[in-house]
Chains A and B, each alone.
Chain A
Amino acid sequence: MSTHEQYADDLALYALGSLTESEHGQLQTHVDECAACRRELQQLRGDMALLALSVGGAAPPRRARQRLLDAIAMEPARPHEIARSGRGWLAQLSWVFAAAFAIVAAFVWKQNSDLKQQVAQVQTQAGQQQAQLQQARDIVNTLTAGDAVHVTLVAAKSPPQPQGRAIYLRDRSSLIFIASNMPPLPPQKAYELWLIPDKGAPIPAGVFKPDSRGAATVVNPPLPAGVVAKAFAITVEPEQGSTTPTMPIMMMGSGA
């Protein structure tokens, strides 16, 4: 993740406290939301520290040390962090152990979380592979079924170079359609395959666009169960497909 370039220069000024109040407020809002810019801000403060440390060398007057210790002695006793550490090194050691335990716990939790993620990924992959395998089985079953209706669709007009082959298994509502030599389509158009039933209106059976060689396939489009196919037809439709065919019919083949 990188810093947002549009904020880069201003982040340096922000670190230095050199922005106006309104500029500071605007950038603060972004920094609160952006981890990358927060990280860069920390590093810019690190750069500032380098500049500050480069000054080095001046020793404060001796009295300053005593002044500080006197001021500390005057402070009311409070149960804050340093006060707790006053129980000695043993107390500090317990804090070290507590911190170490917290780090180990965080590490184990992180590992556990990572493992869970990995398991979920493997499960998702397995599910996808299972679905792909099932789809392949369906295709083979449809292609090899003895009771499948094989229909070859050709161009309505000669020369009959474009060809479509529909293999339909009514009992399983399974349809595989393979087209070749399909003419290129106008922009924003697609071919739509129609199942023309015994009775009733044509049923949409998949929208497809041929590749550069004019080849295309439609595999198991959603179809109502048990429809007897009288014929299959292809029309040119808008890319998203239509619910009723737009004339003329480009290709057609009878299931009889």
Chain B
Amino acid sequence: MRSGDAGAMAALYDRYSSIVYSVALRVLGESSSAEDVLQEVFMQLWRNPGRFDASRGSLGPWLAVIARNRAIDALRKRHPESDVDDVVVSVEPDLAGEAERSRAMEKVRGALAAMPAAQRSALEMAFFEGLTHTEIAEKTGEPLGTVKTRIRGGLLALRKVVAT
């Protein structure tokens, strides 16, 4: 009974561990901490598989967001800010398929490259460094409103490029 479960989890790990580990590594910058996040994310999935709602998105994007959030928590040495089951991720089109995901990622990388440097930088500071808008404004010397708008605009630009 248990071996069947472990087999299913191993299959999930084989498919998605690269996504989780890559995000954690990008945020934390070193492999042992990224490995800890990887372990934590999959253990959460193992303990509470029901918290991932398959009707509201595919597993890959959900794990990517959970991995990013857990990595930021680890980076900032804080307790997890939100419970896993709070996080509902909606991506359109659904990126369940490998080929589809690969095409979407090409588009996202293109959109990031085409983004004005200040916007890309604000987005990356918020996403990969977990900086608040106040911290970003202090760091860049730009008004808070500008920082907020750039971050949202950056996210929307990614949505738009994948939807087209």
A interface with B by C-beta (< 8 Å): 8-13, 15-20, 39, 41-61, 64-65, 67-69, 71-73, 75, 77, 80-83, 85-88
Q: Is the CB of B151 within 8 A of A64?
A: no
Nearest residue, chain A, Cβ from B6: A72
- Chain B residues with Cβ under 8 A from A60's Cβ? 17-18, 21, 34-35, 38
What residues of chain A lie closer than 8 Å to B10, measured between beta carbons?
A: 65, 69
- A115 CA to B18 CA in the complex, in Å? 49
B interface: dominant SS:
helix
Per the bound structure, the CA–CA distance linking A87 and B87 in Å amounts to 29
User: Do the beta carbons of B151 and A12 come within 8 Å of each other?
Assistant: yes
Task: Decide: A8 and B152 in contact? CB cutoff 8 A.
Answer: yes
Q: Is the CB of B127 within 8 A of A51?
A: yes
CB-CB under 8 A from A16, the residues of chain B are: 126-127, 130, 151
| Contact call B108/A53, Cβ cutoff below 8 A | yes
Rounded to whole angstroms, the CA-CA distance of A53 and B94 in the bound complex is 13
Q: B: which residues have CB within 8 A of A?
A: 1-6, 8-10, 13-14, 17-19, 21-23, 25-26, 31, 34-35, 38-39, 42-43, 46-50, 56-57, 60-62, 64-65, 67-69, 72, 81-82, 87-92, 95, 101, 104-105, 108-109, 112, 123, 126-127, 130-134, 145, 148-149, 151-152, 155-156, 158-159, 162
A46 CB contact (under 8 Å) in B91, B123, B126: B91
Cβ distance A166 to chain B, nearest Cβ, rounded Å: 65
Q: Which residues of A have CB within 8 Å of B64?
A: 48-49, 52-53
Bound CA–CA A88/B22 (angstroms): 32
Q: Considering only CB atoms, which chain B residue lies closest to A42 in the complex?
A: B90
Most buried by B among A43, A45, A73, A80: A45
For residue B95, which residues in chain A have a CB less than 8 angstroms away from its CB? 49, 53
Q: Decide: A50 near B91, CB < 8 A? Known: A18-B133, A56-B105, A60-B17.
A: yes
A-chain residues with CB within 8 Å of residue B69 when the two chains form the complex = 17
List 8 tightest A-B contacts by C-beta distance, closest first. A49-B61, A52-B64, A46-B91, A12-B152, A42-B90, A47-B155, A60-B21, A9-B148
Query: A59–B24 Cα gap in the complex (Å)?
Result: 11
Q: Which residues of A contact B14 (CB under 8 A)?
A: 65
Q: List 24 A-B contacts (CB under 8 A).
A: A10-B148, A13-B126, A16-B126, A45-B88, A45-B89, A47-B158, A48-B68, A48-B89, A49-B60, A50-B91, A52-B23, A52-B61, A52-B127, A53-B60, A53-B108, A54-B108, A56-B22, A61-B31, A65-B13, A68-B38, A71-B43, A77-B2, A82-B5, A85-B4
**Interface centre among A17, A50, A57, by most B CB within 10 Å?**
A50
* Residue numbers in B under 8 Å from A75 (CB-CB): 46-47
Whether the pair A49, B127 counts as a contact (CB closer than 8 A) is no
Considering the chains assembled together, what is the distance between the CA atoms of A77 and B47 in angstroms?
Answer: 10
- A12 / chain B contacts, CB cutoff of 8 Å: 148, 151-152, 155
- Residue in A closest to B73 when the chains form the complex, CB atoms: A17
Which of these, A49, A55, A71, A85, contacts B91 with CB under 8 Å? Answer: A49
Interface centre among A39, A42, A64, A86 (most CB of B within 10 A): A64
- The answer to whether A65 touches B17, judged by C-beta atoms less than 8 angstroms apart, is yes
Docked-complex contact B148 and A48, CB < 8 angstroms: no
> Which among A11, A48, A86 is the interface contact of B2 at CB below 8 angstroms?
A86
B43 touches A82 (CB 8 A): no
Please tell me if the beta carbons of B9 and A82 are within 8 angstroms of each other in the complex.
yes
Residues of B within 8 Å of A15, CB to CB, are 155
Closest B residue to A11 using CB positions: B152
A45 closest partner in B (C-beta): B89
Residues of chain A within 8 A (CB-CB) of B145 are 9
